[in-house]
Structure 1
């Protein structure tokens, strides 16, 4: 059975930090989880930590194993939610379309789910139902955004942070981290009339796709030395520790606005003690007024039938898959009988031309009735009458006479 363990939507950032997962340990966690479950996909983003898994262990027993493997404090279980198969499928389809994002309809989640799925493929942790579910979900997310034309109303934590920075007349902006979110921040920032953008990365040689004269690429150590010259800092690394601490910020100087888009957080919360600093974490950024929010919500709800169709298609596929063994047996038995009939005919008929015609007729007749039986089986399975139909077909096609 497919199941899901996730972090509740309104859990405070301080708790989410304790339940976040380092990308570097995803392989280790997945390998350990596969000792207990058939398939596993780990989705871990700045706003979301979810473990999708399929196996016989379920409920409390499965949750305890996951908490132990991930080294989570069992006392934080109240901050998590658990879903069984039907609700898990619905949840993933809604998540990939942006319905459960803190910033409604943001488009980064589709890429994050695709990345989680491709990582699972590389780790060989999906091979059956969970693999099919994620493929369907990714296709659903693409279709939802294309048909709903959500690109006409773009919004993300990156765009909101840059928008707020520009509203506050920031001309010198520092961006820390150049992953998926960081690259978006840089793109949005450079589309505005700013004087300078300092991009802080661990390895400057890896940044080879920026040619704007306003951009200076530097290291973490060098970035910390000039951070107090900035009007705005937007941090979005995947580091497991603080990047900017209180000691790196001068108590006095010009006003500086800082956006921390990371999970766990990059910026020391203690710098709020300085009057010159305004620090926003990912939760506060999500709550900022968004003039497009109601428009996006209205449009998303009008296209929710796309999600419902993909949910229906997945369960239809799963239902049909459950009778695939019977279908295979019927086809194999049919092939065996055809072969026997052909041998009998070959012994009685010596005209090669007539023999070939007879073989074609035998096979086409057999295929007709076998395929019709399979169609009926699939129809009855979708109606919930599969077991009764299997019993009848087994007597007709598989029972030895």
Structure 2
């Protein structure tokens, strides 16, 4: 990277700070966005990105190296003001990462490797939302734009090339996965929620997203059942109606907090005939248990309690940890690629890349032209060669001169502008695609000219 600029990441997470510190720095209750505040209070950074979730708060900055000390002083004052903590209290909980370490960390965050649950996918959506905020408040520029887009690319690559996102790693999702294995498709299935615990509601949402089309809610407090039924467009019942409601259900999720069994063996046995012995899948995630264990002995009734689900979760977590090693290899490779891109923003590689691209295009177009002009003498071919070289050199003089003159004033931004205008970061596939597009436009243009000429002849 340019010696005068650095990437610096400052943050804390569930590993380094307790929730009482994280929540004070989350900015969730603030009327204005932290990026907006940073712009008005700290003028010493070039670009900034802010990420806040229940498990982490992170700032990533691009700044001039010689302003680093000044920036850290201003930033420490900013955090003290916003959190009501003294810098001495905050600093032990913060991590400070620079350049490739900061890049590697962002990649790991986007891939879910730094999450409380390894490989969880929600964090990528949160990173994307944070990037939208940086665009909205105009704090993301050349480097952060590229860096965050690479984050999204790396996360997609890790998901595609490893099994880090596989398997259920939450109790609610494990319940959903088990139901799918036993019942097959969840389409046109009826889900019954007994009780209104948070974990049960989460499992409930997984089933609905998986295709379950009918929702039943039975609760001791009928008003709560009605409230949830309205939320999920379902039907509300009291616990006294449970035997009749069980007849309608394919999947039961129970979480009542009752001191004794809510669903007994006798209750389920009494409704099997009315159900025509259709499979009944019961997930008991209550502690103490809601469902009598003997229920599992009934024909076509499948009962799982929270311990069964925990075993599934722990096994899947072990598998994800193995896949995390493969993900880290991919991340190391992508960090090197990003460093290479940063180095290529220097002035000499850009001038060389521009000259080489212009020469490739010159040779390609000259070759096409000479094939059409078959009767040219060697002297005429040489004259055209000299002419095209001269034209290219004169056209390149202006962008190269612009880079040299503005390099010390604008640094990588001048270089970046030239690289974007001339597509110097394109791949071979990009080049082929562009050239094919140009050729198609030429063909279409010729066809349109022929049509116009034909119209004119007809009119005449």
TM-score bracket relative to the smaller structure: 0.5 to 0.7
Does 1:317 find its partner at 2:341?
Answer: yes
Specify whether residues 154 and 317 from structure 1 end up closer, same or farther in structure 2 by C-alpha distance, changes over 3 A only: farther
Specify whether residues 254 and 137 from structure 1 end up closer, same or farther in structure 2 by C-alpha distance, changes over 3 A only: same
> Which one of the candidate residues 109, 113, 116 is aligned to 1:95?
109
Q: Which residue of 1 aligns with 2:264?
A: none
> Which one of the candidate residues 217, 220, 242 is aligned to 1:196?
217
Does 1:28 find its partner at 2:51?
Answer: no
Return 5+ residue gaps in structure 1 as ranges. 164-168, 177-181, 216-229, 234-251, 256-274, 277-285, 336-351, 369-401
Specify whether residues 21 and 310 from structure 1 end up closer, same or farther in structure 2 by C-alpha distance, changes over 3 A only: same
Q: What is the distance in 2 between the residues matched to 1:65 and 1:155?
A: 40
Does 1:293 find its partner at 2:308?
Answer: no
> Which one of the candidate residues 47, 50, 54 is aligned to 2:55?
47
Q: What is the distance in 2 between the residues matched to 1:120 and 1:361?
A: 44
Cα distance per residue 1:134-178 (max 9 Å; x no partner)? 111111011101111434324358637989xxxxx97223559xx
Does 1:110 find its partner at 2:120?
Answer: no
Higher RCO (C-alpha 8 Å, min separation 6): 1
Q: Which residue of 2 aligns with 1:261?
A: none
Specify whether residues 175 and 309 from structure 1 end up closer, same or farther in structure 2 by C-alpha distance, changes over 3 A only: same
Whether the 8 Å contact between 2:12 and 2:57 is mirrored in structure 1 is yes
Structure with the bigger percentage of helix: 2
Whether the 8 Å contact between 1:97 and 1:110 is mirrored in structure 2 is yes
Whether the 8 Å contact between 1:95 and 1:101 is mirrored in structure 2 is yes
Offset, 1:314: 0.9
Whether the 8 Å contact between 2:46 and 2:63 is mirrored in structure 1 is yes
- TM (norm. structure 2) is 0.49
Q: What is the distance in 2 between the residues matched to 1:214 and 1:359?
A: 84
Q: Which residue of 2 aligns with 1:171?
A: 194
Say how many residue pairs are matched: 278
Offset, 1:329: 12
Q: What is the distance in 1 between the residues matched to 2:83 and 2:128?
A: 26
Cα distance per residue 1:300-334 (max 9 Å; x no partner)? 21232211121011111111112279629986xx9
Q: Which residue of 1 aligns with 2:434?
A: none
Secondary structure in 2 matching 1:34: helix
Q: What is the distance in 1 between the residues matched to 2:337 and 2:8?
A: 18
Secondary structure in 1 matching 2:8: strand
